[in-house]
Amino acid sequence: IKEETRSSSWFIRGQRRNLTAEVKLSYEKKKMEKLEVLGEIFINKLEIKVIGEDSLVDRFKWNLEVSLLRCLG
């Protein structure tokens, strides 16, 4: 696993037999129309690149979706 941190992003690369995943989470602070009262808020962007057998990619995608849904509470 390779992890890289920058001031406005995280980059993680993982690899195992027949599957490679690269995940980048970046953000910026912006004022959003109709939310000006909150001031600048964080806007996140998640980019994912997965290479491997279709069944492994599908399983990775399912696990990712479940994990993200759990984050919502």
State how beta strands 2-6 and 9-16 pair: antiparallel
Cα angle 43, 12, 54 (rounded to 5 degrees) comes to: 100
Q: Show the domain range for 53.
A: 2-71
Average pLDDT over residues 5-34: 87
The pLDDT, as a whole number, for residue 32 is: 86
Please report which confidence band the pLDDT of residue 28 belongs to, taking 50, 70 and 90 as the band edges: confident
pLDDT number for residue 36: 87
Does the pTM surpass 0.95? The reply is no
Q: What is the pLDDT of residue 43?
A: 87
Q: Which of 54, 1, 4, 53 has the alpha carbon at shortest distance from 24?
A: 4
What's the pLDDT tens digit per position in 34-73?
888 998 888 899 999 999 999 999 999 999 999 989 988 7
Number of domains making up the chain? 1
